[in-house]
Amino acid sequence: MENIINSDYLVIGAGGMGMAFVDEILTQTSATVTIVDQKHRPGGHWNEAYPFVRLHQTSTCYGVNSTPLGQHRIDEFGLNKGCYELASGSEVVAYFDKVMRERFLPSGRVTYLRMSEYRKDGTVKSLACGTEYKVEAKKIVDASYIKVTVPSQRPPTFEVKPGATCVAVNELPRLTPSHKHFTIVGSGKTGMDACLFLLELGVNPDAITWVMPNDAWYFDRLSVNPGRKFTDAITSGQIKVLQAAIAADSLDDFFQRALACGELLTLDPNVKPTRWRCATVTKLELEYLQKIKNVVRLGHVTSVGPGVMQLQKGSREVPADTLFVDCAADGLAHRPAVKVFDGNRITLQTIRMCQQVYSGGFIGNVEANLTDEARKNELCRPIPLPYVASDYIRCAIEGSESMLTWLTEPKVVSWINESRIDLFSPYFDFDDPEVVKQIEAMGELLSVAIPKMKQLLAEDALAAA
């Protein structure tokens, strides 16, 4: 016979988004929550991440609102010097575990079914012992819709021929001492991290081959430091981007202007980036990465063998003893936008560009404070995760339009002002005439920039057709 659990919310997934949502529900309501997750502890994909992974955004603005992560410290040495600290993967996992053990469960309002699977018929089955539960909840929250895949969770997408050694990036620390040559497959955040890991260990850059299927634009990490300390810098950067869009006569011209004003960075100024994946980098990290001269731009790898790899646009010889390191998993899933609020179902999605955990908390605040479904969806319009370079403009448009809507809802403005996990927003003090003046000036700038950005996107799509 099934065990019956009654709960106000059934949350599927204990990753960052789900945890941030639940944190707001616990803080702002008296509701009960049942969390179902397939993993043995909270933290989502962080449980399978490579051992040297770190956040790409500051610890200061990551996690759940109620519980700080890190020491609010600026790094004084290393490649992240001058920026706020970046938590390691193990620190992030320990953090979410602490939130569960020291905040959620002691509240008496959270039931945590770990290593359990939610099934479409509404039942939950333990993957460890087979016990089944029936969760009768008023609302179901899908916190697993935006899936993150890391290399250790799947085999390589290319053929590995006999005699070649190919491993997921998780194995790199263990195998580094036994190899003299390395081929890093993947140009995203994971590939960058793998290259920096080797370079910081003192590996000769000439011993590293970096497969770069597509170059991408990067954020300068210093420009996206916490807004509460660097409000002027962040606002100045946003203004520069909007002004670049207004002045640009094409999408390519916009990116060159954004590059010239320092808001975006690129690995090689002579190669046009075609991707946008929200990775951040310091200028010192970029200098390190630019030491690698064996950069292969022949598309995706199709097979690897002893001394050679085949790619979409040709082949390339590599040292026979090279260690192929798979960093090519698509960490940010491409999922179509759906309504966040739909009857008794809530689907957590990104409502600010590449700010998944922030989005989970934001949606939780809206759920806790508003009742009209249409208004809730108006405030929580999904912004699909970016992939190609033009998505930067798309996300900037959608994010700007959302911010204008958020400013019309006092409960949202209050949450933004008080939120620990808000990375980009300035402080909105409508009682301060100078702040109101600045907000009005930004609104006027957006009224010109948004139509121009839409024009740039439309012209770029027409040219590509």
Q: For residue 266, which of 307, 232, 219, 313 has the smallest C-alpha distance?
A: 219
- Structure pTM? 0.95
Task: Walk along the chain (465 residues) and give the pLDDT tens digit of each residue.
Answer: 468 999 999 999 999 999 999 999 999 999 999 999 999 999 999 999 999 999 988 999 999 999 999 998 999 999 999 999 999 999 999 999 999 999 999 999 999 999 999 998 889 999 999 999 999 999 999 999 987 777 767 789 999 999 999 999 999 999 999 999 999 999 889 999 999 999 999 999 999 999 999 999 999 998 877 654 445 555 677 888 899 999 999 999 999 999 998 889 999 999 999 999 889 999 999 999 999 999 999 999 999 999 999 999 999 999 999 999 999 876 666 789 999 999 999 999 999 998 999 999 999 999 999 999 999 999 999 999 899 999 999 999 999 999 999 999 999 999 999 999 998 887 788 888 887 888 888 889 999 999 999 999 999 999 987
Q: For residue 88, which of 100, 75, 103 has the smallest C-alpha distance?
A: 75
- CA dist 9 and 25 (Å) reads 9
Q: For residue 17, which of 348, 368, 330, 379 has the smallest C-alpha distance?
A: 348
Residues in the chain: 465
Q: For residue 65, which of 16, 12, 15, 9 has the smallest C-alpha distance?
A: 16
**β-strand 294-296 against 208-211: which pairing, if any?**
parallel
- CA dist 272 and 277 (Å) reads 15
Q: For residue 1, which of 136, 123, 138 has the smallest C-alpha distance?
A: 123
